[in-house]
């Protein structure tokens, strides 16, 4: 597997997984926290300040791993149609929606970039592995991504959402197979899929094939049925599942004069809950260890007994003794796909930043 280079360009930081590597599963207890909190919408510096306060609080509880919701940095544009709520027409350019997108674009972050450097510093300051949902900006396209950091303050890499859902496809680009990492860390093998990507069986299988043990699932789905999906994945993959969602009220978004909130009939009152959360931590046996929480902003924390993974795999190892590769198998194209490439020696630099070479 490819190695992830350090920010200084020196020796590799953390390798992508080798199937027999990882933590000592007979003894390790990992304290993990999923953060349930809202973005400070259209204010990325304030969102980063809030993230640091939450990371500090989780670290104060002894957490070694902190997982944030989908699009925490940059914001999940709940209720917005970006001008496409009534019709989609080339002859009707939806100028108001374009201006809304311009503001959303300004709140996104470059990867690498100064916000990534700050997040890495937070992970190092509080000595935690950090999994952070962001809106990534590359050129003039936005991606819904998850960034990974280690306790030494190093940016490890990213996962870009492979398949945005419904109206998300209007505002977000599509990831490819080059950013589906699983990192072999002292805590265990850590990776992530975002929201409804978790309903894609082949994509889950790609993570299982890399030996994932701590499966992070940042999401924007607060429906009760989401809990069934998370329980199924924990049991299917024989892994711990950590799902983090935002808890938001209408007042957490800009006022009606700046932000049209569709989908709820008339304009909701400031106190109306528009996303009730549901963050949860589930064991490989399907036991709910913490959550789901629907009460407000919260830190949901649990101790993960990594030995439980071995006990779960005794019954069912989806890419091991319970597989039938002569009948069913999966091939993953993990190469980056770029719209423009150059063959001349002077222009060998990639047209798009690759996860394998990104540095803070």
Q: Could you tell me the CA-to-CA distances from 300 to 33, 186, 296 in Å, in that order?
A: 5, 22, 11
171 C-beta neighbours (distance < 10 Å), count: 20
Indicate the length of the chain as a whole number. 360
For residues 340 and 355, the model is more confident at: 340
pLDDT > 90? residue 330: yes
Does some domain include residue 343?
no
The dihedral of CA 114, 335, 189, 230: what is its sign?
A: positive
Q: pLDDT-derived band of residue 99, with 50, 70 and 90 as boundaries?
A: confident
pLDDT value of position 11: 39
Catalytic residue among 16, 18, 70, 197: 70
Residue range 32-57: mean pLDDT, rounded: 97
For residues 277 and 91, the model is more confident at: 277
Q: Which domain holds residue 245?
A: 29-84+97-315
| pLDDT tens per residue across span 207-234 | 999 999 999 999 999 999 999 999 999 9
pLDDT > 90? residue 92: no
The helices-and-strands tally (H runs, E runs) of the chain is 7, 16
For residues 262 and 88, the model is more confident at: 262
pLDDT > 80? residue 13: no
Does some domain include residue 360?
no
Please check whether residue 275 is in contact with residue 2, taking contact to mean a CB–CB distance below 8 angstroms.
Answer: no
Does some domain include residue 336?
no
Q: Strand pairing of 3-5 and 141-149?
A: unpaired
Q: Strand pairing of 240-243 and 214-216?
A: parallel
pLDDT > 50? residue 89: no
pLDDT above 90: percentage of residues in the chain: 73
Does some domain include residue 22?
no
Q: Could you tell me the CA-to-CA distances from 177 to 106, 145, 356 in Å, in that order?
A: 27, 13, 12
| pLDDT tens per residue across span 142-168 | 999 999 999 999 999 999 999 999 889
Q: pLDDT-derived band of residue 196, with 50, 70 and 90 as boundaries?
A: very high
Written in H, E and C, the secondary structure of 201-234 is: HHHHHHHHHCCCCEEECCCCCCCCHHHHHHHHHH
CATH number at residue 215: 3.60.110.10
In the chain, the number of structural domains is 1
pLDDT > 60? residue 55: yes
Q: Determine which of 90-94, 135-139, 238-242, 249-253 has the lowest per-residue pLDDT on average.
A: 90-94
Catalytic annotation present for 258: no
pLDDT > 60? residue 309: yes
| pLDDT tens per residue across span 229-286 | 999 999 999 999 999 999 999 999 999 888 877 766 678 889 999 999 999 999 999 9
Please check whether residue 284 is in contact with residue 302, taking contact to mean a CB–CB distance below 8 angstroms.
Answer: no
- The DSSP line for 105-169 is HHHSB-SSSHHHHHHHHHHHHHT-EEEEEEEEEETTEEEEEEEEE-TTS-EEEEEE-SS--TTHH
The dihedral of CA 18, 313, 27, 192: what is its sign?
A: positive
Does some domain include residue 205?
yes
- Between CA 281 and CA 263 the distance in angstroms is 29
Does some domain include residue 169?
yes
Average pLDDT of the chain is 87
Does some domain include residue 354?
no
- Choose among 357, 273, 329: nearest CA to 3: 357
Does some domain include residue 7?
no
């Amino acid at each position: 597997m490819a190695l992830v280079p350090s920010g200084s360009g020196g020796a590799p930081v953390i390798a992508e997984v080798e199937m027999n590597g990882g933590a000592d599963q007979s003894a390790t207890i990992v304290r993990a926290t999923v953060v349930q909190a809202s973005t400070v919408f259209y204010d990325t510096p304030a969102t980063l300040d809030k993230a640091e306060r939450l990371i500090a609080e989780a670290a104060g509880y002894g957490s070694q791993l902190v997982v944030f919701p989908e699009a925490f940095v940059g914001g999940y544009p709940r209720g917005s149609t970006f001008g496409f709520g009534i019709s989609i027409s080339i002859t009707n350019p939806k100028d108001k929606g374009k201006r809304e997108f311009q503001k959303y674009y300004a709140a996104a972050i470059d990867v690498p970039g100064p916000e990534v450097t700050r997040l890495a510093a937070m992970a190092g300051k509080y000595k935690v592995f950090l999994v952070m949902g962001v809106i990534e900006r590359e050129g003039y396209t936005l991606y819904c991504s998850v960034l990974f950091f280690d306790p030494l303050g190093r940016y490890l890499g990213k996962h870009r959402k492979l398949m945005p859902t419904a109206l998300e496809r209007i505002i977000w680009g599509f990831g490819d197979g080059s950013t589906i990492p699983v990192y072999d860390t002292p805590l265990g093998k850590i990776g992530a899929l975002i929201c409804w990507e978790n309903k894609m069986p082949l994509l889950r299988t790609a993570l299982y094939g890399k030996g994932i043990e701590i499966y992070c699932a940042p999401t924007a789905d607060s429906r009760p049925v989401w809990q069934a999906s998370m329980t199924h994945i924990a049991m299917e993959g024989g892994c711990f599942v950590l799902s983090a969602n935002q808890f938001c009220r209408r007042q957490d978004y800009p006022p009606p004069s700046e932000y049209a909130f569709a989908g709820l009939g008339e304009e909701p009152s400031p106190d109306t809950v528009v996303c009730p959360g549901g963050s949860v931590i589930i064991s490989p046996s399907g036991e709910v260890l913490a959550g789901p929480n629907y009460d407000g902003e919260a830190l949901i924390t649990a101790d993960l007994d990594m030995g439980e993974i071995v006990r779960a795999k005794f019954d069912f190892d989806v890419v091991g003794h319970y597989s039938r590769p002569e009948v069913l198998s999966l091939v993953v194209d993990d190469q980056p796909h770029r719209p423009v490439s150059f063959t001349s020696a002077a222009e060998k630099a990639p047209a798009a930043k690759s996860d394998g070479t990104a540095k803070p």
